[in-house]
Chain A
Amino acid sequence: QKEVEQNSGPLSVPEGAIASLNCTYSDRGSQSFFWYRQYSGKSPELIMSIYSNGDKEDGRFTAQLNKASQYVSLLIRDSQPSDSATYLCAAGVYSGGYQKVTFGTGTKLQVIP
């Protein structure tokens, strides 16, 4: 079982719709959660971090965390073609005195104009 699991997609949504990206993690000791966006051929870029249960909003992005269900999600409102990318979910666990971050394999999002 992978430590951080994501559906590889592709997830296709029409322009202007809400894109919902989901992630589950296996280590209940995980304390920090991150979403990165990665355009094809580019490196990952941090877009959201969340540390406590509930929702965190930043512009068109909302991250949701449910530690009881070991579930993290990212909502993208008013999706734009420029949002088309692979979205990586990551979870951080404190081990050996520092936070070790494990990434999922990513979900490819396609926003159709």
Chain B
Amino acid sequence: GAGVSQTPSNKVTEKGKYVELRCDPISGHTALYWYRQSLGQGPEFLIYFQGTGAADDSGLPNDRFFAVRPEGSVSTLKIQRTERGDSAVYLCASSLQDNYGYTFGSGTRLTVV
């Protein structure tokens, strides 16, 4: 596609529920990143994919968070047993090569009530 597409744009869920956030990167971009941004903060790194594999998942806060990219294109970020502290904007970005700047998607605003 022309840009990075993220769905849903907004997600409200109850504490303890499971959520999935989807990212469709720019066609041909092999590098895909998930970041999380809280109000007044810069984006915080979560995970990086090169192709199908998670090359660096050191930013995932705990084992409730997991991400996959099974065919090297679309990625899904999965959060189990959501907590109110998980509320943030989840940003996906892709790049042609990992030393280039990123193109971000429009983000998913997650609210846990």
Chain A interface residues toward B at CB < 8 A: 4, 8, 31-32, 34, 36, 42-46, 49, 88, 90, 92, 96-106
Q: Is the CB of B104 within 8 A of A43?
A: yes
Q: How many A-B Cβ pairs are below 8 Å?
A: 54
Instruction: Report B's interface with A, CB cutoff 8 A.
Output: 31, 33, 35, 40-45, 48, 50, 55-56, 89, 91, 98-107
Question: At the interface, is chain A mostly helix, strand, loop or mixed?
Answer: strand
**Quick check: B104 and A44 within 8 Å, CB to CB?**
yes
Q: Which residues of B have CB within 8 Å of A100? A: 45, 48, 56
State how many angstroms separate the Cβ of A110 from the closest Cβ of chain B: 16
Instruction: Known A43-B104, A44-B104; judge A98-B98 contact (CB<8 A).
Output: yes
Supposing A43-B107, A49-B100, A96-B56 touch, asked if A101 and B41 sit within 8 A by C-beta, the answer is no
> Complex formed: what's the CA distance from A53 to B79 in Å?
41
Please name all residues of chain A whose beta carbon is closer than 8 Å to the beta carbon of B106 when the two chains form the complex: 42-43
Tell me the nearest residue of chain A to B92, going by C-beta: A43
